[in-house]
Amino acid sequence: MATDATQPRQTGEIEAALLACAAGDKTALRRIYEAESPRMLGVAQRLLKRRALAEEAVQDAFVLIFRHAGRFDPERGAGLTWIYAILRNRSLSILRDEKRTETSDTPIAEETASEEDDPETVMAKLSDASALRACLETLSPQRRGLVLLAFVQGLTHGEIAGRLKLPLGTVKSWIRRSLLSLKECLG
């Protein structure tokens, strides 16, 4: 499978930096930080909505990246994908924990997402060259909206159902079917 054309970063650099991190080289972590932290903070901000929480997620992610760099296996995937998977996992954990212990009146999920994070706005920002965009376009706007709300804003099935006033079972089955259509299209 070809690397997605929307990732114009030099492949190899991140992988090399991760290997150096595994050997305890903090300057290698710093290189990753310089290259990726603004984008990572943007991703965390879309999920967590609050700047302080987004920074916490990025902070935790870098410590985890350094701690687990030895487990990164270039045979099994790209370094950048690995880094963002850690960031997303950490962000989602904070998001779900926050919800459980939320004391403020506005749960994060109900906080207004920036218009920039609306499914169709995100669609428009997707690189024309990306296979994902071409395949998302084969779905109806409503169905791809469900997938995008989950990935971009970190909404759960229940939250998506509430937001779009759809039955929970419908949301679940539409997302599953959308994933299978996407898989068919992406190959």
Q: Which residues bind another protein (CB under 8 A)?
A: 1, 3-4, 6-7, 24, 26, 29-30, 33, 37-39, 41-43, 45-46, 51, 54-56, 58-60, 62-63, 66-67, 76-78, 80-81, 84-85, 88, 90, 92-93, 96-97, 116, 122, 125-127, 130-133, 147-148, 150-152, 154, 156-157, 175-176, 179-180, 182-183, 186
Amino acid (1-letter code) at residue 92: L
Comparison of 30 and 143: residue with beta carbon closer to another protein: 30
Residue 154 phi, psi dihedral angles, 5° rounding: 70, 25
Q: Buried b / exposed e across 120-141, counting CB within 10 Å, b at 16+?
A: eebbeeeeeeebbeebbeebee
* Nearest residue (CB) to another protein, 106 versus 134: 134
How many residues does the structure list for the chain? Answer: 187
In the complex, the smallest distance separating the C-beta of residue 69 from another protein, rounded to whole angstroms, is 11
Residue 73, both tokens:
């296996």
Question: How far is the C-alpha of 81 from the C-alpha of 43, rounded, in Å?
Answer: 13
Reading the block at residue 123, the tokens are: 């669609």
The vertex-41 CA angle with 35 and 44, nearest 5°, equals: 135
Least distance to another protein from the beta carbon of 91, Å?
9
Q: How far is the CB of 117 from another protein (least distance, A)?
A: 9
Q: Which residues contact 79 (CB under 8 A, 6 or more apart)?
A: 14, 15, 17, 18, 72
Minimum distance from residue 106 beta carbon to another protein (Å): 21
Residue 67 or 110 having the CB closest to another protein? 67
For another protein, which is the closer residue by CB, 93 or 142? 93
C-beta of 1 vs 105, nearer to another protein: 1
Q: How far is the CB of 138 from another protein (least distance, A)?
A: 14
